[in-house]
Amino acid sequence: MSLLQKQLKEIHNLIKKRDISARDLVQESIARIEEVDQKVQAFLTLDVEGAKKKAEKLDEWLKESGSTKLLTALPMGIKDNICTEGVRTTCASKQLANYQPIYDGTVVKKLNQAQAIMMGKLNMDEFAMGSSTENSSFHLTYNPWDLKRVPGGSSGGSAAAVAAGEVYFALGSDTGGSIRQPAAYCGVVGLKPTYGRVSRYGLVAYASSLDQIGPITKNVEDAAYVLQAIAGYDPQDSTSAQVEVPDYVRGLTGDIRGLKIAVPKEMMGEGIEEGVRAQVQAALKQLEKLGAMVEEVSLPHVEYAIATYYLLSPAEASSNLARFDGVRYGVREQGQNLLEMYEETRSKGFGPEVKRRIMLGTYALSSGYYDAYYLKAQKVRTLIRQDFEQIFADYDVIVGPTTPTVAFEIGSQVDDLLTLYANDVCTIPVNLAGLPAISVPCGRSEGLPVGLQVIGKAFDEETILRVAHAYEESTESIGTPDLGGVSQ
């Protein structure tokens, strides 16, 4: 068994006793990447030399001090829209093909302080706009469970790298489901924290009122450890919340007796594949066996969530992406004058999906349409948030499927945008309401992973982690993907 397949506590004890070194773990990760990444293509940029140097320094420090942290020496991957000092950060866009940040994002800084080791930057949909990682300007990423299928998106590279055993954990960002959906498709755990729980400083913005960074891990306990390391107030992020960070791992008691679970009928009805629904229903029965009370509820306004999202997020993207003009950073195309340079840079630098959303957003914000579209969408967002508040007045968590289907085949939805956008129907409402949610594997349909989504009250990541962990501990693992006989 690979070192990267061991439990975090086991690796920690081996490091602590000096039975293994940071160099050993980095070498395991490098070997695995060399073995499988030509098939999975999860990485955009590898920093092998940087990882080796960090491992050497860490081993020297451990030899002198003898003290370790829980994430010490664990190889990690970072989604390529999070700034890393001196390491290319492209957002999977030609627009930033050669951009090297001069600073680390806060989450990267915190993980460096926790002594984790970055192996490189992971593929994604361009500027996080997509649900399949097919919108990357550089290359496709393939689902380790079936190389003909998408890994999900936009954090597809992060989920695929963890599922394939290339890194121990990864960071993603979630604007409308971009951590949870690929985690569900790839059979791993994906956690979207409450908006404001984790600093967004250093995250290249897509939709600033929706974006949130979170971990993708092999299991729920690891998600709790990583969240512990990256959560907390950051004065460099004006949307960061000054809320106390609890001990997430201590809350993983396995006891959910007496908890009240709400199941929205809107998330279990039309559009949900029968195989997905069956696995989620089986998971709900398991939660009942563990002592929780499960009841059906209604979220009447979630049917408007996709329409609301595709007005608000492109509007914010239109504003945020205005900075990519070829003047300060990124690529620059030549023109006869300044305006022509802007036009050439933006038309050649952005891919079709990014252009589509910029145009949607600009239209929604334009004079004469602002009230009819953007303002109305903001009002519907308030109604969706109020729906959740009413449910949480009587229930502890909301549970349902993470995605309506299992991972679809590459290319099958490229020309069917409405179907592609509908893949996030179960996840988008959570972002609109700013709530925390986690996806945990709950069996397979057609041989492919199914995700169970647990949604919680604002800043109550403890409870969703407890429910997901209790479920995970009481059921059999779905196993690991077979990459054509490649050992894991």
In a 3-state reduction of DSSP, which class is residue 463?
helix
User: Cis peptide leading into 439, omega within 30 of 0?
Assistant: no
For 42-77, the DSSP string reads -EEEE-HHHHHHHHHHHHHHHHHH----TTTT-EEE
Q: What's the token pair of residue 384?
A: 């969706």
Alpha-carbon distance of 408 to 478, in angstroms, equals: 19
Query: Amino acid letter at 427?
Result: T
* CA–CA gap between residue 429 and residue 438 (Å, rounded): 13
| Catalytic one of 154, 240, 313, 318 | 154
Given the residues 21, 29, 54, 79, the one annotated as active site: 79
Q: Is position 366 annotated as part of the catalytic site?
A: no
Q: How far apart are CA 139 and CA 133, in angstroms?
A: 9
Which residues have CB under 8 Å from 50's CB, separation 6+?
87, 118
DSSP 321: G
Rounded Cα distance, 389 and 241, in Å: 19
Cα–Cα distance for residue pair 227/232, rounded to 1 Å: 9
Rounded CA separation 46/432 (Å): 34
CA distances from 118 to 55, 89, 145, 153 (A): 10, 13, 24, 21
Q: How far apart, in whole angstroms, are the C-alpha atoms of residue 18 and residue 15?
A: 5
The closest alpha carbon to 405, from 51, 131, 190, belongs to 131
Q: From the CB of residue 412, how many other CB atoms can be counted at a distance below 10 Å?
A: 15
End-to-end CA distance of the chain: 7
For residues 216 and 172, the answer to whether their CB atoms sit within 8 Å is yes
Q: Is 79 annotated in the active site?
A: yes
* Residue 131 among the catalytic residues: no
**Residue indicated by tokens 């400083």:** 201
HSE-CB of 384 using CA atoms within 13 angstroms: 25
Residue 191 structure tokens: 């956690």
The residue annotated as part of the active site, out of 29, 93, 155, 178, is: 178
- What secondary structure letter does DSSP report for 32? H
* DSSP H/E element including 190: strand 189-192
Question: How far apart are the C-alpha atoms of 198 and 3, rounded to whole Å?
Answer: 29
Active-site amino acid positions: 79, 154, 178
